[in-house]
Amino acid sequence: MLPLHNKTIVLTRAKNQIENSSKLFKDLGAIVIEFPSIEIKETEDWSKFDKLITTKKFDFIIFTSSNSVRFFYQRLKQLNFELDFQSTKVIALGSKTAEMCKEYFINVDFVPSYFSVDGLIKEFEKIDVYNKNILIPQSEIGKKDLSIELEKKNANVFSVVVYKNVLPNPEELKEKIYLIINSEIDAFVFTSPSTFRNFIELMKIQNLKDFFSEKVIAAIGDTTKSEIESTGLEVKIKPDISTIENLAIKLTEYFKLQGAIFDETKK
């Protein structure tokens, strides 16, 4: 029997990422309700990016997500601009981000061992960034923590929006919403703070504790976990390394342990 046999999981992720992630859980035997609570779209205003990329030399470019890589590269192509990566070190936050860089033939110099902004900040304690130009392409709701910490080290930080997280049309999710309300859910999987916030809004949840009562909540990383727990909910599953694959492993281990406890109580 597959480890997640007969477990119903609500998976929240960006629309363009959810299919591959869903297959991972289905292959483990789960019944997956795919809930694309985010749509990713390129920014409507490229003026700041265009000016920076064509007039400045950067010592570092930090990609904090695969989406930042994708929209960064697409814009370079639209501008027909060749960036000299020989003199620029590229840092990718997480294995998926590094894989996306590889797909676009962007050489990655460094991937932090801990896939989070906090982990990256710790890594920068070892790097001299005094008066270095650092470009951070990000979403419009990207956290400022990294920029603030680098500026404290006297780096010249240029954060620029290359994509935005958009709330999907609720009408397009009516069937999914009905299915979630009328199903026995075993676990909710949240892959970013935005997927959690948007899920609440799209589902029109008034009382979070009642809605998630006796349900397992899984978060992909520390930032998502903090966002969820700030509302008073408990996150029971979080992988040490923030990838969907590691989250699936942790979820499997959790239900295996719960099954063992249940079997023990029947003796």
The whole-model pTM stands at 0.81
3 falls within a domain = no
Q: 66 in a domain, yes or no?
A: yes
Residue 243 belongs to some domain of the structure: yes
Give the residue from 135, 165, 195 where a domain finishes: 165
At position 103, the amino acid (one-letter code) is E
For tokens 């035997």, the residue is 29
- Identify the domain boundary among 165, 193, 215: 165
Report pLDDT digits (tens) over 128-139.
889 999 999 999
Does residue 155 lie in a domain region?
Answer: yes
End position of a domain, from candidates 165, 193, 214: 165
Q: Using one digit for the tens of pLDDT, what is the confidence trace for 210-229? A: 999 989 999 998 889 999 99
Asked if residue 155 and residue 60 are part of one domain, the reply reads yes
Same-domain check for residues 172 and 161: no
Structurally, how many domains does the chain consist of? Answer: 2
pLDDT in tens, 147-162: 888 998 899 999 999 9
- Domain range for 22: 8-39+168-266
Asked whether residue 151 is domain-assigned, the answer is yes
What's the angle, vertex CA 223, arms to CA 219 and CA 226, rounded to 5? 80
Query: Would the pLDDT of 262 be above 60?
Result: no
Helix (H) / strand (E) element for 88: namely: none
